């Protein structure tokens, strides 16, 4: 699940007053094991990378959600031992459906073939991160900004209750009523892959202005279909690209699983895009209650409702996935009937990182959500169910990490994972917890890490100011550089101040729009000089480590110093007592930092802090640099020269052999290989 943190999950004891209904996942959780103390990384790509290579960001350089400006040096290398490559050792075939976001297509020689090059036999989904922005023209039927949710709502919300639904093949269907599940004709048409022309009857020719090439968030998405035979990138006019994304992801997985012969073991990763922004209504048939077609997609309160329903739609389609593949059935009342002993398939459910701020449930901290190393940003649900799980319907309270899921995949296949991966992994075993309910804790420490990815010549993402407005009142505001461009910034309810900014009314501008603000401290500089209150800045590097009872957070923030009229990094530690209590856990909220009272700490607490600090420093130093080792085999040798030669001659741009990080694989990089020959200092794993 995407951006679905543990705060959303009733099956873990949370969800606040308005949890999303997730009956199908609740059923599987009741038949399996709930890992209640799992950390991922603060954002999508590093969390997914941790799961599929079993290594912390400090080893892969994947510190943040990948964007179009991030070099191959921050993408998962095709030299890594990924999960599908690992499972090939046990004759597994692997497929992924939905969101990829591990490498490519930008700044990568493999382009849209990156899933295949990283080991997947079949991929059907989207290489980049979240869905595109919402098309507020609803397919060209209105001016930009008219329809905030990407479809024509019903008449009561300023749209129409009747009209014509046109398709790219020029066919048309009249729609004249709200559906039995509450969808307006406009949303019905969008769900069917069409464009709704309000108020009129079907014509023999397509009306002027309809644009079937426009992407539209969850309903029109440019697919990539890849396997060993090649790559397909159907245009947005293709029916495969049109329809609700969560349904497309599910159906593709169902089709592939049902086509397996049974002669070969397989692993299917259904990588749901939801409930990532932009928030856009799900089809009414997939949600509980009234679908809410009249909700506004770009304001806080409706977004919380829409986010719930997007998550509910994932749960609905997850249930269909199990039933249609024969892994479950339906009871007479329609609820899911799942017996893990009836099959040899293991089901793993996990969130990639914590919830996005606007969706966070009480009592979790809306101001310390996704993109931070605080509990709300990295604490995720992990459920494992299947034949062989001892004492099902139980909780594991011990610390586990997303990297451990990598080892679990290998353990399920009977592989000795540490012996099968030719480099350091950070994964601890998970299988012992499944086999024995009394298994003691394996990890003594947990770790998470976020930062900024490598861009050419030290460039960085621009500044984005995200404001949370409730009932017309701004309750929180933060400047972040975790989003890479204007579209994603605005999809996350932000105001873009990077290159190409357009809203000069928010703060006075000292930078031309063509340059924009390349750092949040520069935004603060402009605000200070104009006498405007400074916007808090989200940490650019966020790291945390914990033991059973305490958590150390180390944040680095680029701050503005008015006395020197410049900015620079400031690193500070925070120290918290944390736990997994239900329904109100101890969280690392603002005001609960113990560091200000350090002078009064007892000896044991001081020793705990010192130990966690030393463990954090040891982890951060556990991957010595190895300049020239482009194939990450621990040695700079003739193989690196040969690979550099091929890439230089056939590609020449960003690659793992671009050691001076200028976006080119050229002779300056060859010189660095020649200067650093020999074996690298070994790395070490700590858990």
- CATH number, residue 101: 3.40.720.10
Residue 23 forms part of a structural domain: yes
Residue 1 forms part of a structural domain: no
- The three-class DSSP label of residue 383 is strand
- Assess whether pLDDT exceeds 90 at residue 241: yes
**Confidence (pLDDT) at 488:** 85
Q: Which position has the token pair 């397996």? A: 260
Closest by CA position to 497, among listed 567, 559, 485, 451? 485
Look at phi and psi of residue 252 and say left if phi exceeds 0, alpha if psi is from -120 to 50, else beta: alpha
Domain boundary among 147, 180, 214: 214
Beta-carbon contacts of 600 under 8 Å, excluding residues fewer than 6 positions away, are none
Together in a domain, 104 and 201 = no
Closest by CA position to 244, among listed 317, 338, 173? 317
Nearest-angstrom CA–CA distance, 368 and 376: 6
Q: How many CB atoms lie within 10 A of CB 340?
A: 21
Residue 345 forms part of a structural domain: yes
**Confidence (pLDDT) at 475:** 64
Residue 469 forms part of a structural domain: yes
Q: What pLDDT digit, counting tens, does each position of 97-147 carry?
A: 999 999 999 999 999 999 999 999 999 999 998 899 999 999 999 999 999
Residues listed for the chain: 687
- Between residues 484 and 575, which one has the greater pLDDT? 575
Together in a domain, 74 and 159 = no
Closest by CA position to 545, among listed 439, 639, 445? 445
Residue 587 forms part of a structural domain: no
Domain boundary among 410, 444, 478: 444
Together in a domain, 238 and 126 = yes
Closest by CA position to 540, among listed 359, 367, 357, 373? 373
pTM of the model: 0.95
User: What is the tally of structural domains in the chain?
Assistant: 4
How far CA 240 is from CA of 195, 232, 277, 364, in Å, comes to: 15, 11, 22, 38
Together in a domain, 196 and 252 = no
Number of Cα atoms under 13 Å in the Cβ half of residue 111: 9
Segment 389-413 mean pLDDT: 98
Together in a domain, 128 and 174 = no
Together in a domain, 184 and 258 = no
Phi and psi, residue 255, nearest 5°: -60, -45
Together in a domain, 50 and 168 = no
**Angle between helix 44-53 and helix 402-412 axes, rounded to 10 deg:** 30
Together in a domain, 381 and 400 = yes
Together in a domain, 467 and 484 = yes
Cα distance between the two ends of the chain: 25
Nearest-angstrom CA–CA distance, 347 and 28: 8
Q: Which position has the token pair 């856990």? A: 585
The 3-state DSSP composition of the chain as helix, strand, coil percent (nearest 5) reads: 30, 20, 55
Together in a domain, 284 and 420 = yes
Per-chain mean pLDDT for the chain: 95
- The three-class DSSP label of residue 586 is coil
- Assess whether pLDDT exceeds 80 at residue 492: no
Nearest-angstrom CA–CA distance, 359 and 378: 14
Look at phi and psi of residue 516 and say left if phi exceeds 0, alpha if psi is from -120 to 50, else beta: left
pLDDT range class, residue 486, cuts 50, 70, 90: confident
**Confidence (pLDDT) at 614:** 97
Residue 29 forms part of a structural domain: yes
Asked if 153 contacts 147 with a C-beta cutoff of 8 angstroms, the reply is: yes
Residue 406 forms part of a structural domain: yes
Nearest-angstrom CA–CA distance, 367 and 590: 9
Q: Which position has the token pair 């007479």? A: 332
Residue 524 forms part of a structural domain: yes
Together in a domain, 375 and 477 = no
Work out the angle at residue 274's Cα, subtended by the Cα atoms of residues 450 and 330, and round it to the nearest 5 degrees: 130
Together in a domain, 49 and 193 = no
Domain boundary among 483, 503, 529: 529
**Confidence (pLDDT) at 306:** 96
Nearest-angstrom CA–CA distance, 57 and 267: 24
Nearest-angstrom CA–CA distance, 235 and 611: 55
Q: Structural domain of residue 673, as residue ranges?
A: 635-679
């Amino acid at each position: 699940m995407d951006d679905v943190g543990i705060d959303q999950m009733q099956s873990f004891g949370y969800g606040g007053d308005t949890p999303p209904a997730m009956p199908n996942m609740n059923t599987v959780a009741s038949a399996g094991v709930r890992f209640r103390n799992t950390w991922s990384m603060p954002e999508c790509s590093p969390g997914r990378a941790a799961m599929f290579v079993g290594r912390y960001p400090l080893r892969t350089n994947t510190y943040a959600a990948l964007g179009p400006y991030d070099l191959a040096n921050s993408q998962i290398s095709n030299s890594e031992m990924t999960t599908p490559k690992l499972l090939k050792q046990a004759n597994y075939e692997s497929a992924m459906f939905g969101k990829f976001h591990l490498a490519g297509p930008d700044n990568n020689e493999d382009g849209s073939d990156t899933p295949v090059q990283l080991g997947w036999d079949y991929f059907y989904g989207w290489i980049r991160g979240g869905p595109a922005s919402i098309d507020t023209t609803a397919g060209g039927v209105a001016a930009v900004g008219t329809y905030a949710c990407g479809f024509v709502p019903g008449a009561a919300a300023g749209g129409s209750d009747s009209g014509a639904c046109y398709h790219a093949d020029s066919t048309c269907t009249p729609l004249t009523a709200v559906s039995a599940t509450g969808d307006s004709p406009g949303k019905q048409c969008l769900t069917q892959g069409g464009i709704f022309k309000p108020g009129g009857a079907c014509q023999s020719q397509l009306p002027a202005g309809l644009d079937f090439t426009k992407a539209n968030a969850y309903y029109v998405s440019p697919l990539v279909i890849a396997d060993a035979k090649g790559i397909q990138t159907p245009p947005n006019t293709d029916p495969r690209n049109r329809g609700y994304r969560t349904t497309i992801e599910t159906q593709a997985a169902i089709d592939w699983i049902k086509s397996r012969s049974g002669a070969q073991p397989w692993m299917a990763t259904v990588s749901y895009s939801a409930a990532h922004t932009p928030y856009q209504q799900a089809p009414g048939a997939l949600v509980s209650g009234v679908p809410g077609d009249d909700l506004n997609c770009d304001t806080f309160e409706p977004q919380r409702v829409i986010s719930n329903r997007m998550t509910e739609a994932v749960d609905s389609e997850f249930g269909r996935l199990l039933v249609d593949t024969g892994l479950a059935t339906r009871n007479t009342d329609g609820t899911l009937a799942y017996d893990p002993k009836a099959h040899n398939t293991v089901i793993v459910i996990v969130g990639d990182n914590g919830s996005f701020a606007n969706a966070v449930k009480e009592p979790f901290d809306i101001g310390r959500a996704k993109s931070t190393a605080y509990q709300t940003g990295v604490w995720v649900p992990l459920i494992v169910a299947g034949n062989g799980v001892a004492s099902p319907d139980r909780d594991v309270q011990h610390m586990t990490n997303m990297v451990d899921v990598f080892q679990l995949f290998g353990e399920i296949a009977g592989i000795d994972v540490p012996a099968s991966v030719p480099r350091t992994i950070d994964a601890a075993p998970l299988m012992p917890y499944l086999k024995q309910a009394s298994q003691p804790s394996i990890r003594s420490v947990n770790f998470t890490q976020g930062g900024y990815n490598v861009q050419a010549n030290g460039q960085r993402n621009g500044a984005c100011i995200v404001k949370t407005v409730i009932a017309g009142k701004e309750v929180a505001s933060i400047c972040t550089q975790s989003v890479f461009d204007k579209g994603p910034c605005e999809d996350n309810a932000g105001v873009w101040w990077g290159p190409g900014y357009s809203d000069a009314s928010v703060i006075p501008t000292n930078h031309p729009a063509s340059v924009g603000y390349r750092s949040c401290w520069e935004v603060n500089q402009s605000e200070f000089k104009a006498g405007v209150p400074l916007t808090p800045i989200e940490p650019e590097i966020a790291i945390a480590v914990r033991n059973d009872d305490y958590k150390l957070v180390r944040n680095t923030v680029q701050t503005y110093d008015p006395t020197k009229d410049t900015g620079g990094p400031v690193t500070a530690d925070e120290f918290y007592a944390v736990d997994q209590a239900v329904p109100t856990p101890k969280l690392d909220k603002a005001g609960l930092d113990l560091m200000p009272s350090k002078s009064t700490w007892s000896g044991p607490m001081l020793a705990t802090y010192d130990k966690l600090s030393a463990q954090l420093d040891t982890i951060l130093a556990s991957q010595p640099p190895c300049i020239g080792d482009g194939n990450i085999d621990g040695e700079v040798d003739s193989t690196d020269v040969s690979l550099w030669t091929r890439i230089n001659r056939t590609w020449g741009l960003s690659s793992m052999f671009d050691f001076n990080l200028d976006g080119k694989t050229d002779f300056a990089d060859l010189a660095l290989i020649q200067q650093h020959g020999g074996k690298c200092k070994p790395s070490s794993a700590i858990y």
